[in-house]
Structure 1
Amino acid sequence: MEKKLNGIPVDKIDPLDPQVKDKYQIFKEEITKSALLSLRERIPQKILYFNNILTEYSKSGLLFNSDDLDKESYQSINNHSPESKRTKRAHEEANQVLPSHKQIFLELEQIKLEASELIEIITNIKLWIQLNIPRIEDGNNFGVGIQEEVIQELTRVEDTAFNLYDSIVKYYMAR
């Protein structure tokens, strides 16, 4: 028996307008394609990519190439000068911009790129799972708990990716 409120079926959440319903179906199909592409291709490629990076770094024993390090050293502030000169020098040095270490800058940019891709992948997969959770009224609730746990784990991964972004911003602010 179908429940109705003012002549509108309550147990179905599908759009009533046929055009909106068609667009919604197309949207669901696009999300499904994107999620399946991520699960079948993008995630395995990322696993191989990061495994290769770890293998390279573990062989060399170095995270950074010492040949790429800046050869220029920056002098520290000399605190033995009189107060007026120290204040003047502090203001002059506060306005100087020290160049970023090129390799650290490139690594941080790569991390930002990887984090944004991870966020995109996780968001698509979460949305796909949420769109495929069956209605409990159908009696087909097998696996709903598992789907909800997977969504929670994906949310933790997404939070980690956002924290990567946040830590990069904090690093630049601290500089």
Structure 2
Amino acid sequence: MSELLRLVQNHLDRWGVKKAEFARRAGTTPQTLYTWASRPLRQLPDKHILDGIARQARYPDWLVLDAALIDAGYRSSYPEVAEIRQRLRMLTPDDCREIAREAGDLADYAELRQQRTLSDPDHVAGGATLPHTQARTADSGYQPSPWIEDLLDNGRKARQAIAPESEGEHAREG
């Protein structure tokens, strides 16, 4: 299944919307969606169709565009850790601080959701209760995902490769 059609199908399954109705609201025809299911995209769909899919499914524009780029052969897949790391390195310090604030807010929100789930034994999410995570850090309760740990570890390694001289100078100054 194409990535673009997978996004549409996820929305249809989640909300119980019919394909024809979704297509009409997105500004295309049901035949377009059926064509995407039967053969791969050869070119990018019109911008108004991609905008309509994003608007109707309430997906970010970049997610819909990325799916279309993958389907049309302009991208091989979603960004890998190395590509994300490279994109992050090109950010300004202010952008990095904003991302850190957002990540902290998301971690707090996820932890709050998990606490609510764990405190309610009858709560079921997706057919199963969420398990309690044992591998939490002692200070904040946040356990980063493996790709975040990889990003952080590579950053630490890079700083350690540079830092021995500067840390020694800093220790002598202080």
Q: If the length of structure 2 is used for normalisation, what is the TM-score? A: 0.28
Q: If the length of structure 1 is used for normalisation, what is the TM-score? A: 0.28
Which is greater in Rg?
A: 1
Return the structure number with greater relative CO, CA threshold 8 A, min gap 6: 1
